[in-house]
Structure 1
Amino acid sequence: MLSRLQSLHRDARDTLFLLAVIAWVLLPQVNELPLWCSALAGAVLLWRGWLAVKAQPLPGKRWLLLLMALTLAATWLTHRTLLGRDAGVTLLVVLLTLKTLELRAKRDAFVIFFLSFFCMLSNFFYSQSLLTALSMLLGLLGLLTMLVNAHMPVGRPPLSQAAKTAGWMALLGTPIMLVLFLLFPRLAPLWGVPSDAPAGRSGLSSSMQVGTIASLALDESVAMRIKFDGAPPRKQDMYFRGPVLATFDGREWRPSRLNASARFGVAADLAVSGAPLKYEVTLEPTNRPWLFVMEAAAQVPALPSGFQGTMQPDLQWLANRPINDLLRYQAQSYPSFQHGPLQTVPGLQEFIDLPSGFNPRTRALAGEIRNTPRLARAGTAALVEEVMNRLRTGGYSYTLEPGVYGQHSADEFWFDRKQGFCEHIASAFVILMRAMDVPARIVTGYQGGELNTLDGFWVVRQSSAHAWAEVWEAGRGWVRVDPTSVVAPGRIGAFERLEAPQGAVARALRTFSPTLMAQLRLFWEATNNSWNQWVLNYTQGRQLNLLKNLGFESPSWEDLSYMLIAILVAAALLGAGWSWWDRSQHDPWVRLLTRARHRLDKAGIPSTPATSPRQLAEEVLARYGRQPGSAAQALADWLLRLEQQRYAAAPAGAGKAAPQLHALRQEFSRLSWPA
């Protein structure tokens, strides 16, 4: 294969390298692009590579116009618009690949280079992870290599030489990039890219069907990272509250139809006590407005500029807009709290209602429990303990694959399957409590986390998604009850997760070294977290803190601008000074002769560095003739004087040669050069 590539014409090899770089730039977007777009882009790149290898002519304009028309139609049918982020990126990708079919001149190559740079930047519309940044850095070096190669046609130097030059360019540009990153003012909404309509992401939903959270147990992606101020809480107390589900139609749980401002709504009535637990949350994008905090947060989380937080009657915190980018905020929670009404209110009826025609055996079980003599007049706490004891001793198990539940999901759990994931258990528990006229609801969120010992952050994954219950008790309000804790105590206390099936590589690593896989994972996540904290979350507030550390008392974005301008001016002056010093280190006579050679080369008289001024003068007179007073004769005389200035012995008593060279330099600018 390598020998075949080496036998190709240099233009074909350069074209194949360019196509490979373009494919590398487009590869991270395959999951975000429509299937037809990825297929078309791949087919066009393969077609263009085949044409380069076979030295076949490029297709005519009719083919390109046809493909472009099909692209516009397909983009419109897919996105229902030709504007916006997703439609724009789709068109950009296809335009880039189609432009390779017009690669005939250097101008076409430059268009392809700069379209590729735009496509490279568009990858960050969808992901700003460290892995994306590293892959795009390689793409940048590849594009710079091709750009340098396009400016070095003479002698056709190898790509390795162009790659070396590109590497030096990137290295020299790094200080400028760092200065711009640190000091360029981040002014919303100019900083960042607005997202289109929310796209699907893995994570919790605003509704729950039995079995939906179980699918998240297979998702090991990070949901958020937590940094505690001081000692962390106990693992069994790490409940991060998300959507609260109160309405059940027999198949699906949804949020409450009422709110605190409604006539019959149930207000939060949150009362906290004890010392607060302070921590910082780095939340991954969810395209939802949910702010996950530990139960229970009484104060608004400290959010970045542009965000506002509001607590709902069910204690869930919401931001004023969806979270489409990495978000970091500080919060404080009170492990000791009480919320909800202490006495019966009309709004509690919503948390008792059940749809008719569903789960008849569960309703019958509720009647049996209620008719038990010792529970006939029992309160909520006794009824909860009775149900929890049934879960503890009734042969129920915790599993990731309980099978598909039918219409009567609670009946199947209590009497038939006796196994399920957390939402199966919580849903069946809440239905049974409601059937006994006890107000109950489901709370979804995350429970637990893993401590990364390398950076001290607690990592909460999507696999930590959890569902638990809350029951209302007179005099206490809403009380958390986690029925999963009695079916599978290790799930809550010791964090014994149900693991997804491992691949062959992961199994091999675990067999070779049980701790190697865990250590590699911790290292990568700590590195990725540092990227999130120091790069993606480098906000205007951190910029202003940097200026405070530099001595500014009350810094503002104007100070950032002045600081940036001052550094750029200083860098420009240093560059100009270095350039002047570098030029002064070279032989001015050689520099003047080089300028003359360049002018003669444009006039059709080539030369090499070994060609002397006298030889150049002879070439000029041989081509244009010896005519006194002509431009050619004046040029030849100037070349001879230039040689004399360098090599003729200075007469006794003569001054320095520098003034003569200065005169020759002035005369050079007045010469008339033959066409």
Structure 2
Amino acid sequence: MLTWLRSLPRDTRDTLFLLGVIAWVVLPQVPQLPWWCSALTAALLLWRGVLAVRNAPLPGTRWVLALLAATVAATFISHRTVLGRDAGVTLIVVLLALKTLELRARRDAFVVFFLGFFTMLTNFFNSQSLLTAAAMLVGLLGLLTALVNAHMPVGKPPLAYAARTAGTMALLGAPIMVVLFMLFPRLAPLWGIPSDGMTGRSGLSSTMQPGTVAQLALDDSIAMRVKFEGGVPPAAELYFRGPVLSQFDGREWRPLMQRMAAYSAALLPPTDLQPIGEPVRYTVTLEPNNRPWLLVMDAAVSPPTGPGVDAFSGGELQWISPRPVTDLLRYTVTSAVDYRAGAGGRPPPPQYRELPASYNPRTQALAAELMRSVPGGPANKPALVQAALERLRTGGYTYTLEPGVYGDHTADEFWFDRKQGFCEHIASAFAVLMRGMDIPARIVTGYQGGELNAVDGWWTLRNSDAHAWTEVWLAGRGWVRVDPTSMVAPSRTGSLQRLRPPQNAFTTALGNVSPGALAQLRQAWEAVNNRWNQWVLNYTQSKQLDLLRNLGFESPSWQDLSYVLIGIVVLVALAGAAWAQWERSRQDPWLRLLARVRHKLVDAGVQLPASAGPRQMAQAVTNRFGAEGAALADWLLRLEAQRYAPRAPVPLPSLQRELNRLSWPAFR
């Protein structure tokens, strides 16, 4: 294959390389692009590659215009607009592929290069992950290599040489980019990736039907990371609170307030939170989920705080952001592991006891039976709760991800027919039974447990850790967490054993060969990815100002960042000028010009000793290139005359300018 590629003409080889780089840049966009866009782009790149290999003529302008018109029409049909981010990315990808059909001159190539750079940046609209950054770094080096190659208009220079030059350019530019990244003031909304990149992504929902949390649990992606300061609470206490659902219509649980924007502590029952014992302080890095809830461990004693965090109480011990979380969000929270909530006030309003009359009649009958059989009857609420939990523990109920499709009477089916379900089936049936016994009850959804990453010390919670539990209100104790799933499957909340979806063939084989290898590899990768999230994606203006404080600024501002950045730029410029002056003073300009020519000749394959003078170089050029190198040989002789003739015929600056315009012999 390599031999075949080397045998191709220079233009064909360069075109195929550029097409391969474009395909690499576009590939990460495929999941977000309309299917026709991906198919059309692949077809256009393949078509252009075939034309290059066959040395066939490129299609005419009519073809290109027809394809362009079809692209605009298809974009409008897919996105209902040709403006905006998604439609714009679709258009730019196809335009890049279409432009390759006009790749005739160097000017066309430069247009393709810069369209490629722009397309590469659009990948970060959808993901700023470490994998995306690594893939785009490869794409950047590929585009730079093609750009360097285009500036070598003659001969057939090896791609490795162009790649080395591109890599050198990237390395030289890296310190500048690091300084700009660290010090360029981040002024919202000018700084950052458009936040609509999370469209379509979801986590916990504002409603719950039996089966919805089980679907989320099949997703093993990371939902949040937690770092505790000091001791870590017991695994059975790691409950991270999300939406609280208190209205039930027989099939679906919903929050008391239907509109998320209407959440207000003044509109919901007051929560009298009384922390017991020493609170726990921790930091949460919440992954984008397009939802407004700020997940906190029960129960946060103060609002979550952090750069860009605007939190307000949603009542029912919830904390909510005014906007959906569409970017990585980091905040610090202090929570009470042991607490009382709502114990000092009056009983909750009747909404927490309401049940639709036409649903779950057998569960209603079970509630009446328990109230008759428990000592103390309906007044002994704690005993009624324990009786329901005992029924779960001893009644042959099982915990499963695949309980089948439930009908209209979900609680009845769970208690009497199926006797199996995931956490939301169990929590919903338990809450219905509690309300049937006139005990205020509500559903809480969130995450429970997690996994400690031994590499970096962060706890990782995945969507597979999604959980639903209940809270009941008892006189004198307030709202009490009751997790009925722990009665059916104690390992779910105790030793944190999860029901996992089937693994693919690779992970299964790796796990069979080395049971711990897969977990160690994943922990190592997630630790690296977490570092990327903390130090790159979450590098906010507050961290910039902290950097200035470490440098001695007492009350730094974004203006100070600008002054420091300008100062560094000026110092680097002065250092560069001083180095250039020093370099000029220590080396003769004539020798430097001769060394430049020798270096290019050696790269062209001309064997020259280090002591070769202009006349010896001219002879070597004539022997190697013949008439094709006559102009260069003549220039070398005139360079010799400039130094050694009694009167220099041509000034050295003129020879320098002439060398820049000189057409070099072909590399071969």
1:309 maps to what in 2? 311
Q: Contact between 2:272 and 2:345, CA under 8 Å: does it hold in 1?
A: no
C-alpha distance in structure 2 between counterparts of 1:388 and 1:62, whole Å: 75
Q: Contact between 2:641 and 2:649, CA under 8 Å: does it hold in 1?
A: no
TM-score (norm 1): 0.87
1:631 maps to what in 2? none
| Cα distance change of structure 1 residues 121 and 588 upon mapping to structure 2, 3 Å threshold | same
Q: Contact between 1:343 and 1:475, CA under 8 Å: does it hold in 2?
A: no
1:102 maps to what in 2? 102
2:506 maps to what in 1? 505
TM-superposed deviation, 1:665: 4.8
TM-superposed deviation, 1:357: 2.2
Local SS of the residue matching 2:439: coil
Q: Deviations over 1:442-494 (max 9, x none)?
A: 00000001111111111111110000001111222211110001100000010
For 1:424, the aligned partner's letter is H
2:138 maps to what in 1? 138
For 1:380, the aligned partner's letter is K
For 2:320, which of 318, 341, 365 is the aligned residue? 318
2:664 maps to what in 1? none
Q: Deviations over 1:572-627 (max 9, x none)?
A: 2222233333444554335678999xxxxxxxxxx998449xx9xxxxxxx9xxxx
Please list, as runs of the form range in 1=range in 2, the aligned pairs for 1:523-542 lying within 5 A after superposition: 523-542=524-543
2:478 maps to what in 1? 477
TM-superposed deviation, 1:503: 1.3
Local SS of the residue matching 2:564: helix
Q: Deviations over 1:355-396 (max 9, x none)?
A: 232222112211221232625244221111010000000000
Q: Contact between 1:229 and 1:279, CA under 8 Å: does it hold in 2?
A: yes
Q: Contact between 1:342 and 1:473, CA under 8 Å: does it hold in 2?
A: no
TM-superposed deviation, 1:2: 3.9
C-alpha distance in structure 1 between counterparts of 2:534 and 2:637, whole Å: 67
2:665 maps to what in 1? none
Structure 1 residues not aligned, in runs of 5+: 597-606, 616-622, 624-635, 651-659
1:284 corresponds to 2:281: no
| Cα distance change of structure 1 residues 592 and 7 upon mapping to structure 2, 3 Å threshold | closer
C-alpha distance in structure 2 between counterparts of 1:146 and 1:640, whole Å: 35
| Cα distance change of structure 1 residues 195 and 80 upon mapping to structure 2, 3 Å threshold | farther
For 1:175, the aligned partner's letter is P
1:157 maps to what in 2? 157
TM-superposed deviation, 1:263: 9.1
| Cα distance change of structure 1 residues 647 and 415 upon mapping to structure 2, 3 Å threshold | same
Q: Contact between 2:374 and 2:384, CA under 8 Å: does it hold in 1?
A: no
Greater Cα offset, 189-198 or 136-145: 189-198
1:299 maps to what in 2? 302
Local SS of the residue matching 1:21: helix
C-alpha distance in structure 1 between counterparts of 2:243 and 2:15, whole Å: 53
Q: Deviations over 1:242-286 (max 9, x none)?
A: 001111222221111388869984222222233221011111111
C-alpha distance in structure 1 between counterparts of 2:427 and 2:638, whole Å: 99
For 2:302, the aligned partner's letter is Q
Please list, as runs of the form range in 1=range in 2, the aligned pairs for 1:394-413 lying within 5 A after superposition: 394-413=395-414
C-alpha distance in structure 1 between counterparts of 2:595 and 2:458, whole Å: 62
Greater Cα offset, 23-32 or 372-381: 372-381
1:89 maps to what in 2? 89
Q: Contact between 1:266 and 1:341, CA under 8 Å: does it hold in 2?
A: no
C-alpha distance in structure 2 between counterparts of 1:503 and 1:472, whole Å: 44
Greater Cα offset, 260-269 or 74-83: 260-269
Please list, as runs of the form range in 1=range in 2, the aligned pairs for 1:192-207 lying within 5 A after superposition: 192-196=192-196, 199-207=199-207
1:463 maps to what in 2? 464
For 2:305, the aligned partner's letter is A
1:626 maps to what in 2? none
Structure 2 residues not aligned, in runs of 5+: 598-613, 623-629, 662-668
Local SS of the residue matching 2:215: helix
For 1:162, the aligned partner's letter is A
1:647 maps to what in 2? 644
Q: Contact between 2:618 and 2:637, CA under 8 Å: does it hold in 1?
A: no
Local SS of the residue matching 1:290: coil
TM-superposed deviation, 1:344: 4.6
| Cα distance change of structure 1 residues 433 and 640 upon mapping to structure 2, 3 Å threshold | closer
| Cα distance change of structure 1 residues 593 and 234 upon mapping to structure 2, 3 Å threshold | closer
1:48 corresponds to 2:48: yes
Q: Deviations over 1:397-444 (max 9, x none)?
A: 111111111111111111111111100100111111112221111000
Local SS of the residue matching 2:163: helix
Please list, as runs of the form range in 1=range in 2, the aligned pairs for 1:27-46 lying within 5 A after superposition: 27-46=27-46
Q: Contact between 1:243 and 1:443, CA under 8 Å: does it hold in 2?
A: yes
1:654 maps to what in 2? none
Please list, as runs of the form range in 1=range in 2, the aligned pairs for 1:344-493 lying within 5 A after superposition: 344-345=346-347, 348-372=349-373, 374-493=375-494
TM-score (norm 2): 0.88
1:176 corresponds to 2:179: no
Local SS of the residue matching 1:242: strand
Q: Deviations over 1:180-217 (max 9, x none)?
A: 11111111111103323851224211111111111122
TM-superposed deviation, 1:128: 0.9
C-alpha distance in structure 1 between counterparts of 2:263 and 2:118, whole Å: 48
2:342 maps to what in 1? 340
Q: Contact between 1:260 and 1:267, CA under 8 Å: does it hold in 2?
A: no
C-alpha distance in structure 1 between counterparts of 2:89 and 2:640, whole Å: 61
| Cα distance change of structure 1 residues 358 and 647 upon mapping to structure 2, 3 Å threshold | same
| Cα distance change of structure 1 residues 610 and 379 upon mapping to structure 2, 3 Å threshold | same
1:15 maps to what in 2? 15
| Cα distance change of structure 1 residues 298 and 585 upon mapping to structure 2, 3 Å threshold | same
Q: Deviations over 1:124-172 (max 9, x none)?
A: 1111111111111111110110000000112220111101110111111
For 1:327, the aligned partner's letter is L
| Cα distance change of structure 1 residues 265 and 59 upon mapping to structure 2, 3 Å threshold | same
- Percent sequence identity is 63
Aligned length: 629
Q: Contact between 1:267 and 1:341, CA under 8 Å: does it hold in 2?
A: no
1:630 maps to what in 2? none
Q: Deviations over 1:37-63 (max 9, x none)?
A: 112212211221122222222122222
1:219 corresponds to 2:219: yes
For 1:287, the aligned partner's letter is N
Q: Contact between 1:247 and 1:257, CA under 8 Å: does it hold in 2?
A: no
C-alpha distance in structure 2 between counterparts of 1:228 and 1:594, whole Å: 61
Q: Deviations over 1:523-558 (max 9, x none)?
A: 111111111111111111111111111122221111
C-alpha distance in structure 2 between counterparts of 1:304 and 1:146, whole Å: 41
1:188 maps to what in 2? 188
For 1:285, the aligned partner's letter is P
Local SS of the residue matching 1:153: coil
Local SS of the residue matching 1:192: coil
For 2:564, the aligned partner's letter is M
For 1:281, the aligned partner's letter is V
For 2:218, the aligned partner's letter is L
C-alpha distance in structure 2 between counterparts of 1:262 and 1:106, whole Å: 65
Q: Contact between 1:84 and 1:196, CA under 8 Å: does it hold in 2?
A: no
| Cα distance change of structure 1 residues 8 and 484 upon mapping to structure 2, 3 Å threshold | same
| Cα distance change of structure 1 residues 436 and 146 upon mapping to structure 2, 3 Å threshold | same
Q: Contact between 2:279 and 2:337, CA under 8 Å: does it hold in 1?
A: yes
C-alpha distance in structure 2 between counterparts of 1:176 and 1:63, whole Å: 43
| Cα distance change of structure 1 residues 196 and 513 upon mapping to structure 2, 3 Å threshold | closer
Q: Contact between 2:374 and 2:383, CA under 8 Å: does it hold in 1?
A: no
| Cα distance change of structure 1 residues 519 and 40 upon mapping to structure 2, 3 Å threshold | same
